[in-house]
Chains A and B, each alone.
Chain A
Amino acid sequence: MIERIRNNKRGLVASLAAVAALATTATYTLGGFSAGITNTSSTFSSATVQLEESNGTTTCYSTGSGTGGSVTASNTNSGCSINALVGTLDQVPAGAPLSSTLTFTNVGNRTATVASMVTGACSAAAAADNGGYTGSDVSGFCGKVDVTVANTTPGATDKCVYPTQASACPALSSASTLAGMAGTTFSAVPLSTLAAGASATYVVSVQLDTSATNADQGLAATVPFSWSISQ
């Protein structure tokens, strides 16, 4: 988990000044009776916004590892190993669609008011276990992987994030592929903003399109996924 208290410079200066003033007053009071309060616990605390992602087996945090830690200015974990595209090798055209359920939780104590999902560029290369056989359609392979992203959080207003905002995502088809989704920022409805402690669930569904030819064999498509929330 990350550090629970975070001062900004201005708050820190103010707190120290207050404590100093109180101490000064107590020290210089004269007389037989006196009453004074030393409020040694006066503090000013900043809130926290931390994002947790889990697919049921792996959990990632925007900072730290779930048991606190130092929050850097970026508060970003760029090394999350969760594979939203499932990552299962050896998919075939018209095979059973694959899906990955991702749960995001604001484990901080401050309500986030903005949520975003950003997809990087899609790239294709030889699959890890293709035995050296690589399809020639490297440039077109991203367009052969059908994908939808749905917000399945109870109460979410619109359910489909990609390809279109709608109450439900359409069936997987060549109308929504990794090529079409790549390089896009999704930052409005239907992404769920997260109150402190709240969770949102997304389901990423993928399949190899039926139009995939022999030239699409032995290839792997990679798309970086970035998720974030902010105050």
Chain B
Amino acid sequence: MRARRSTRTPGATRGLAAGLVLATALVAIGATAGAAAFSGGLMSAGTDFAAGTLQLEGTTGTANCYSTGTGSGGTVSTNATVCTGGSPVPSGTLSATGAVSATTVLRSTGTTPGTSASVSSATCGAAQLADSRSASAWSGTGPDTALPLYGVTYQAPGPLGGRAVTTDGTTGWAETTTAYTNPQDFTLLAWFKTTSATGSILGFSNDQSAPPSAGDYDRMLWIDPAGQVVWGVYNGSTHEATSTSSYADGTWHFVAASIGSGGQKLFVDGVQVGSTSAKTAQSGFTGWWSIGLSGILHGGWPDPPTGAYFNGSLAQVAVIPTQLTAAQVSSLAAAPTPAAYASAVATLTPADDWALDDPGTVPFTGAVPGGPAASLVDASGNGNTGTGTGGVSPAGNGPPTLGAGARAAAFDGSTGSVQTANPIVDPQGISEVAWFEATGTSGGTVLGFTDQQSTATPSMWDRTVWLDDAGHLVYGTYNGATQEVTSPGAYNDGRWHLVVAEVGPAGQQLWVDGSEVAADATFTTAQNYTGYWHLGWGVESSWPDAPSSGHLNGSLSEVAVLAGQLTAGQVSTLVAATSTASLASDVGGLAPTSYWPMQDAASGTCGSTELTVQQTVGSAVTCVYPAGPGACPGPVPADAVTGLGARTLTAPSPGAPVTVTLTMRLSAPTGPGLAGLHELTGLAFGTARSSTLWSAQISYPAAGVQL
């Protein structure tokens, strides 16, 4: 048919042959339809199709932050902004005696509003000053991360054009987290700037969180009342190497202090300015370095400062586990740039290297010294808090697929377990969800359920997910007889896996990483009793495929128990989550009866901070966290920052902003180790178009509050 049409074209050619005027419309538009006698043409050049824009503005105080651009246009790419100004959390210091609030106004500033919105806290912890080294000198283990306390600020101008921290001279300092036994033969390096003839640059004591109260304290660098730099060690008697000049002159100086076979030496700006014959420092105790504070005022030193806290700027503090030569110190002092200096220090294999150029936005993932025992907040809102016992400890990061915000708890395979608070009456028709990683050939429990709250021998136990000795995952329930479904594959490979175990009308099902690996449709009912959930521990006695150990040898992250059995699509959604916030949102939509995101496993810090989130749209006030109608009640311990996860807000639209009010309070049982920490709440706001890739986000990683 098309060929027949084509043969008509010569008819037009005949018209052309007749000498009639050529149609030029086709020529004008470059058409190749064939020359014709008469023609008529129309052209619409302005034919267009336009996309809208989705932008989110957050106003905190007088600071505005936009998901893209700066409020006056810009290029839209990721449409997600890390806000550097303003804070959605209350300023100042939190206390247990009174709640404080802060508001953020969210506006839709694009042409197209979102269809959903959220507030989330994906990563919460104490701010840190990173140690770029992980040395084992003097029996130290791992990076010696420092934790800034009280009056410390970040990103101040540093030496050589770099960055520094400042300390206020009255409260600010940084404690460290790795203990060292009897450091000898070393060199301390630091850059300092001050106008105050007082304060400690660095110290070493046996009181990690309160150096001024330490019983053992030496290896201290301080500024005496004359502005001179003093380097003090104690080995039965005090030894002070003191500069002859004052350096409290408001300019940067490089100090190097060493002890070793060459004696006690003090260099400033590459030149030796003091020395003693002492060759050793105090022995016989294990201690911690302290930055900006020392035990110098505890007494016994001839030339102490008037104040123990440093008042000025500090940068590039390092501990070299050898006594440097004068030439080496001189070479370091001559480095022209921060990069050249860092490179030169690196060649000296430092035991510790705190650049102190941190942005103050990275949360510490380890256990806070002296902080409360890790408790696992139940983010379902049901208060089923978990408490670790035995060998359960912060494990740092969780599954990489959930991004940097994922946290985990580690279980030692022999004593560690987490017990939960609430008795649960005969849970039927449930899905048990957990990210886990495990090794070893003794098996271990991911999630268990017994009629005992503790690890005491139970009378009834089932609904247990475990690894057998070969690494197969097993899901066991009991209904007059043991009911097991077992994966054909092994998962004791040290890698993170997402397990979903279900029992209910659809049968007993076991999913791993999104795929169903075992099922039995005839197992629909578990044993009827009231029990407690156990993480990382369970009882498998009398099951055919029981492991050698009920204790997990591995880590858990993002554990939840959901009411109802999940479909394959819902399981796929869970495994596809690429952030803790996304997973929290997914889990939140699946009726969790218990949900332990493990954000507080790494640090008890945020589990001790109570939070409520309230939104106001026009005259409508709603409590978002904890969810409820009307205004939020006062914060309570059960509603910690770590339980926020991701919560749904009303999407702002043009002319209808959403005001979000965060109210915070420190929980009364807060341990003394938390006082002064800079807590980073990791708050973010987002709006999105449902079922599309359009989203707009603003996040406040630097927004913190002092505990």
A interface, CB within 8 angstroms of B: 6, 8-10, 46-51, 53, 60-63, 73-94, 98, 106, 108, 110, 112-116, 118, 120, 127-136, 141, 144-145, 157, 165, 178, 185, 187-189, 206, 208, 210-231
Contacts and interface: CB of A to CB of B under 8 A. Distances in A.
9 nearest interchain CB pairs?
A132-B73, A230-B36, A62-B40, A230-B39, A51-B40, A90-B52, A228-B41, A76-B25, A49-B38
Contacts of B2: 165, 188-189
Contacts of B31: 116, 118, 185, 187, 226, 228
Contact of B37 (A131, A223, A225, A230): A230
A10 to B, nearest CB: 6
Interface in B104-144: 109-112
B30 interface: yes
Interface stretch (B7-15, B215-223, B396-404, B596-604): B7-15
A228 B39 CA distance: 7
B42 A92 contact: no
Contacts of B43: 76-80, 224-227
25 contacts: A76-B41, A78-B41, A82-B42, A87-B50, A90-B50, A91-B51, A92-B51, A94-B691, A98-B49, A114-B34, A130-B53, A132-B73, A135-B53, A144-B51, A185-B31, A189-B2, A189-B5, A214-B696, A217-B52, A218-B52, A220-B51, A224-B47, A226-B41, A229-B40, A231-B39
Most buried by B among A81, A91, A92, A187: A92
B29 A226 contact: yes
B44 interface: yes
Contacts of A114: 8-9, 12, 33-34, 36, 39
Contacts of B23: 49, 74-75, 228, 230-231
B47 A90 contact: no
A155 to B, nearest CB: 14
The majority secondary structure among interface residues of chain B is loop
B695 interface: yes
B21 interface: yes
B553 interface: no
A120 B48 CA distance: 12
Contacts of A212: 51, 692-694
Contacts of A187: 31-34
A129 B28 contact: no
A76 B12 CA distance: 18
B161 interface: no
Contacts of A211: 693
Give the size range of B's interface with the partner: 35 or more
Contacts of B52: 89-92, 127, 130, 217-218
B44 to A, nearest CB: 5
B76 A215 contact: yes
A131 B36 contact: no
A216 B29 contact: no
B29 A217 contact: no
B616 to A, nearest CB: 26
Contact of A86 (B49, B68, B109): B49
B286 interface: no
Contacts of A144: 51
A214 B77 contact: yes
Given A47-B38, A118-B31, A230 B76 contact: no
A97 to B, nearest CB: 11
Contacts of B24: 73-76
B688 to A, nearest CB: 10
Contact of B689 (A10, A92, A135): A92
B577 interface: no
B79 interface: yes
B48 A135 contact: no
Given A130-B53, A224-B44, A93 B38 contact: no
Contacts of A206: 49
A220 B111 CA distance: 14
A118 B76 contact: no
B25 A228 contact: yes
Nearest to B67: A214
A189 B47 CA distance: 24
B44 A46 contact: no
A187 B39 CA distance: 14
Given A50-B40, A83-B47, A134 B75 contact: yes
Nearest to B54: A217
Contact of B51 (A94, A120, A218): A218
A62 B42 contact: yes
Given A131-B110, A230-B39, 18 more contacts: A51-B41, A73-B21, A74-B23, A75-B25, A80-B44, A85-B47, A90-B52, A94-B689, A108-B38, A114-B33, A114-B36, A133-B53, A133-B76, A214-B54, A214-B76, A217-B52, A221-B50, A231-B15
Contact of B111 (A51, A131, A222): A131
Nearest to B113: A92
Contacts of A145: 49
B92 interface: no
Contact of A62 (B25, B47, B75, B76): B25
Contacts of A6: 21
A87 B48 CA distance: 5
Contact of A225 (B12, B47, B68, B694): B47
B47 A214 contact: no
Contacts of B19: 8-10
B208 to A, nearest CB: 46
B45 interface: yes
A77 B29 CA distance: 11
Most buried by B among A9, A77, A228: A228
B631 to A, nearest CB: 34
A115 B33 CA distance: 8
A83 B52 CA distance: 18
Contacts of A86: 49
Contact of B47 (A113, A223, A230): A223
Contact of B44 (A50, A62, A127, A225): A225
A164 B410 CA distance: 59
A157 B68 CA distance: 50
Most buried by B among A48, A63, A73, A214: A214
Contacts of A222: 45-48
A132 B39 contact: no
B1 interface: yes
B42 A77 contact: yes
Contacts of A128: 50
A46 B31 CA distance: 25
B408 to A, nearest CB: 31
A76 B44 CA distance: 11
Nearest to B20: A8
B669 interface: no
Interface in B76-115: 76-79, 109-112
Interface string B672-707: 000000000000000001011111100000000000
Interface string B522-548: 000000000000000000000000000
B578 to A, nearest CB: 15
B693 A48 contact: no
Contact of B1 (A120, A157, A217): A157
Contacts of B62: none
A227 B18 CA distance: 25
B47 A87 contact: yes
Contacts of A224: 29, 43-45, 47
Contact of A92 (B39, B76, B692): B692
Contacts of A48: 38
B40 A91 contact: no
B650 interface: no
Nearest to B34: A114
B300 interface: no
Contact of B38 (A84, A92, A216, A230): A230
Nearest to A157: B1
B627 interface: no
Interface in B186-241: none
Contacts of A157: 1
